[in-house]
Structure 1
Amino acid sequence: MKNSSLDLARLAAMDTSEALRLLKGVRDAALSGRRPAVGPRTDIDESWRRMMQRGMDPDRDHRAGLLPLAEIERRRNTSPLLEVLPVLREGLVSIADAAQHIMVVADAEGRLLWREGSAAVLRKGDAHGFVPGAAWSEELVGTNGVGTALVSRRPVQVHSAEHFVATHHTWTCAGAPITDPRDGRLIGVVDVSGPLSTMHPATLALVTSVTRLAEAELRARHHRTLDVLRSVASPLLARMTGRALAVDANGWPAAVTGMAPPGRLSLPKSVRAGWLWLPSLGMCTIEPLPGGWLVRPDEAHPDAPVPGRVVLDLSIPRRPSVTVTGGSGSWSHELSPRHAELLYALARHRDGRTAAQLAQDIFGDPTRTVTVRAEMSRLRRHLAQVLAHRPYRFTEEFEVELVVPERPADLLPHSSAPAVRLGRVS
């Protein structure tokens, strides 16, 4: 089904009942396998396909149990979203209230943690199960502004009958994912929702802008902590010879001597002083610093054990990761959608792939080698000891395990890469 001229501006210009009839006609055609005169928007089309592949009932409301209050509070207090809640409130709550909407903040699992806004709309949200502690992941409740944004990792607006499940057709929502710049993790979604009659095409742009402000606030906080670490580490590094760097708990360098500044280091979940093998630097000595670690690459330790296993875990659709394990520890790195696609292609071709072959695997276009080389360069900043080039491949010393979802159709659901599409049917 091809994307057509249907867009939010056109829907907003229609009478509410007219827009609802149009969208229901598009949805009914999609569910019956017919080709409608006007097709759904791309994000909606992709989500509907995922729901049909899962066998979800489009006419039955799906709800999971609410989290206990104690668990809601625990998640609130440990979530990085708590740090930027004032930014989100300032940017969205008053506008949402005036527009008869509510603001909802969900974690990376799609569990609603906070909601604020119009009291009347909050009561209507209760009827939809749109309450703190509820699960709004796409695989549980179908196409929606929280769960679909988590899967696609893109801002998305879902209007009326664009919701896969019919009981949500009186609702409209616009959600945008938030990524923590300190470690690259997807930490949640901010969503503005309300009754069908209050839909406005600018809502998604507003939500997206405010989430970018929230990410900028997290980035500014991170820079301040790096400045503090730098003030401690710089005098120490100035007295050293050889290579050394000070990094924070997330592996970001604050000060460097004797080497070019690297990108973020992939550190184990639990770091201890002593010898440590790092995927980007090899064997290093690690010493604690206030707010971070002193890392010294050690070329004089040739007999030290190195990890021999790489696990590329794609079993959780929206949380792909790569883990390097061995006798001296375990190092995990959450992957961007593009990097997950590239490593998947390399895991399926242990003999290696040229830049042109990877361009064909990812884009269906062997001429896009510049983009491939740039992305592989970024990947090798984290995995220099694990990934070789000419051709690109996992180095022979490592055993590579590829973990995929139980249902092949759930493999990297955001991806349109030819190699991934082939993997969904093989």
Structure 2
Amino acid sequence: MDTRATFDLERLTAVNAAQAARLLLEMRDARITGQRARFGPRPVIGASWDRMLACGVDPERDIRAGVLSTDEVERRRQASPLRAVLPVLREGLLSVADVAQHIMVVADADGRLLWREGNKSVLRMADGHGFEVGADWRESVVGTNGVGTSIVTRRPVQVFSAEHFVRSHHDWTCTGAPISDPRDGRLLGVVDISGPLDTLHPATLALVGSVAKLAEARLREEHLTALDRLRAVAAPLLARLDGRAVAVDTHGWTAAVTGMPPVDRVTLPKSLAAGRTWLPSLGRCAVAPLPGGWLLRVEDEADPASAGARVVVDVSGPRRWTVTVTGSAGCWTHDLSPRHAELLYLLATHRAGRSAAGLAADLFGDPGRTVTVRAELSRVRRYLGGLVAHRPYRFHEDADVDLVLPEDPARLLPYSLAPAVIRARADAVP
């Protein structure tokens, strides 16, 4: 058991930032060389360092990936939902950043910096770090940092001095927080405050995290406004229809319904077009476009599992995982969140089924966390419907299920901390 004290960033930097930086450098160098330091890094930093060592990031060499062209940056800016919340981010962070000798950057979900503003002298310093518009600041490219590590962990992260894995960033401090789409939980990007290491303030973490939540709240308000507009168009149409029908936006959120109990959201395939399709929660539907959404008229409730659907759970990639269903009603693919990728991997490897307690032990090492497991599987059933049975949880016995694994089994769901996944990776090592 590791009995070392964990590095206390707030306490040590409040006493002496330079001393804290030296201690961090000792910890980092010990981790790289496999030695033991007096203190252990904070868990979020230690986990990131382990990822860097596993994927071969050079701790001594600053690698600058190709910067996006001006045209590509502008294309991404125009397509990014974060463009709508820039006023919120500026209002919450820019005045503080300028006074504190920091800059604010906004990156997309790929780790590409799209906007950068703040203290002019610090902007010049940032250029020396390659911290410029269009640059790639994923962990796998530049090591542990406020942008890339927030993308991986999906939580606010503060990275100080030698907590950066790459040595050339040790005179820098950065604090990033992810911003997610409230409609579907999809990561949209990261807002980050960065500056020289002697400008660190522990309260920055709470500030950046709070402003990121304000941005998400603004996106939620805009979504509700858009649903109201769609409802104004759809309600008169639904009033004239017989049978069951629902009007949804492009993400499946319900604006209006007739002939059936209201639902918050209908899971839609990634590519939906006018015509006929099968949807897990509704069955076969006639699909017609509406301004800002779709009109779905329910025709039947046929379950593809009864027709012997083929299900492909693909967890072969390092960051993107999917489930594809092929049946009599056609073929569709759904992108999986990290948690749902873990769950469907477990169900695909336990075809006889797994209890809620068993899945809780597999995912969290705690069989008592059944409430979380049941809630997540309820969300899974929104897009897989009857293909996932319960008591125990399992794929429908008539479904043909294929599991696609990475070529190197040791790279299975590389960011997962689920005990069952960790065991599977360990078992793959000769």
Shorter-chain TM range is over 0.9
Matched, 1:65 2:69: no
Amino acid at match of 2:61: R
Kept in 2: contact 1:266–1:332 (CA 8 A): no
Task: Report the counterpart of residue 422 of structure 1 in structure 2.
Answer: 423
Partner of 2:36, secondary structure, is coil
Amino acid at match of 1:252: W
Q: How does 1:70-89 map to 2 (within 5 A)?
A: 70-89=71-90
Give 1:121 deviation, angstroms: 0.6
Distance 1:304 1:340 in 2: 20
Kept in 1: contact 2:316–2:404 (CA 8 A): yes
Kept in 1: contact 2:324–2:333 (CA 8 A): yes
Report the count of equivalent residues: 426
Which digits, 9 at most, give the CA deviation of each residue in 1:129-183, with x for residues without a partner? Answer: 0001111111111111111111111111111101111111111111111111223
292-301 or 379-388, larger mean C-alpha shift: 292-301
Task: Report the counterpart of residue 349 of structure 2 in structure 1.
Answer: 348
Give 1:378 deviation, angstroms: 2.0
Pick closer, same or farther for the CA change 1:100–1:329 going to 2, 3 Å. farther
Give 1:328 deviation, angstroms: 4.9
Task: Report the counterpart of residue 145 of structure 1 in structure 2.
Answer: 146
Partner of 2:184, secondary structure, is coil
Distance 2:361 2:279 in 1: 31
Task: Report the counterpart of residue 117 of structure 2 in structure 1.
Answer: 116
Give 1:216 deviation, angstroms: 0.9
Task: Report the counterpart of residue 53 of structure 1 in structure 2.
Answer: 54
Pick closer, same or farther for the CA change 1:414–1:181 going to 2, 3 Å. same
Which digits, 9 at most, give the CA deviation of each residue in 1:202-256, with x for residues without a partner? Answer: 1111111111111111111110111111122223323434322111111111112
Matched, 1:29 2:30: yes
Partner of 2:284, secondary structure, is strand
Task: Report the counterpart of residue 367 of structure 2 in structure 1.
Answer: 366
Distance 2:283 2:308 in 1: 10
Which digits, 9 at most, give the CA deviation of each residue in 1:274-320, with x for residues without a partner? Answer: 21111232211212223221112222779999793333333444443
Which digits, 9 at most, give the CA deviation of each residue in 1:27-73, with x for residues without a partner? Answer: 12222223322111111011111111123221111221111111111
Give 1:338 deviation, angstroms: 2.3
Pick closer, same or farther for the CA change 1:118–1:308 going to 2, 3 Å. same
Distance 1:421 1:22 in 2: 30
Task: Report the counterpart of residue 334 of structure 2 in structure 1.
Answer: 333
Distance 2:122 2:341 in 1: 39
Distance 2:154 2:247 in 1: 32
Which digits, 9 at most, give the CA deviation of each residue in 1:100-146, with x for residues without a partner? Answer: 01111111111111111011111111111000111111111111111
Task: Report the counterpart of residue 104 of structure 1 in structure 2.
Answer: 105
Partner of 2:295, secondary structure, is strand
224-233 or 281-290, larger mean C-alpha shift: 281-290
Kept in 2: contact 1:108–1:186 (CA 8 A): yes
Kept in 2: contact 1:146–1:189 (CA 8 A): yes
Distance 2:304 2:268 in 1: 21
Q: TM-score, normalised by structure 1?
A: 0.93
Task: Report the counterpart of residue 295 of structure 1 in structure 2.
Answer: 296
Task: Report the counterpart of residue 275 of structure 1 in structure 2.
Answer: 276
Distance 2:424 2:264 in 1: 31
366-375 or 130-139, larger mean C-alpha shift: 366-375
Q: How does 1:231-310 map to 2 (within 5 A)?
A: 231-299=232-300, 308-310=309-311
Structure 1: runs of 5 or more not aligned: none
Distance 1:298 1:84 in 2: 40
90-99 or 322-331, larger mean C-alpha shift: 322-331
Distance 2:202 2:301 in 1: 61
338-347 or 195-204, larger mean C-alpha shift: 338-347
Q: TM-score, normalised by structure 2?
A: 0.92
Pick closer, same or farther for the CA change 1:105–1:336 going to 2, 3 Å. same
378-387 or 395-404, larger mean C-alpha shift: 395-404
Which digits, 9 at most, give the CA deviation of each residue in 1:305-346, with x for residues without a partner? Answer: 979333333344444333334565543433333222211211
Distance 1:75 1:151 in 2: 20
Distance 2:269 2:378 in 1: 22
Kept in 1: contact 2:316–2:412 (CA 8 A): yes
Task: Report the counterpart of residue 203 of structure 1 in structure 2.
Answer: 204
Task: Report the counterpart of residue 134 of structure 1 in structure 2.
Answer: 135
Matched, 1:398 2:422: no
Distance 2:178 2:9 in 1: 20
Pick closer, same or farther for the CA change 1:309–1:84 going to 2, 3 Å. farther
Task: Report the counterpart of residue 160 of structure 2 in structure 1.
Answer: 159
Pick closer, same or farther for the CA change 1:73–1:407 going to 2, 3 Å. farther
Pick closer, same or farther for the CA change 1:216–1:163 going to 2, 3 Å. same
408-417 or 288-297, larger mean C-alpha shift: 408-417
Distance 1:337 1:128 in 2: 31
Task: Report the counterpart of residue 96 of structure 2 in structure 1.
Answer: 95
Partner of 2:40, secondary structure, is coil
Partner of 2:343, secondary structure, is helix
Structure 2: runs of 5 or more not aligned: none
Partner of 2:214, secondary structure, is helix
Distance 1:148 1:390 in 2: 38
Kept in 1: contact 2:280–2:303 (CA 8 A): no
Amino acid at match of 2:194: S
Distance 2:179 2:227 in 1: 21
Give 1:2 deviation, angstroms: 6.8
Task: Report the counterpart of residue 226 of structure 1 in structure 2.
Answer: 227
Amino acid at match of 1:9: E
Give 1:405 deviation, angstroms: 4.2
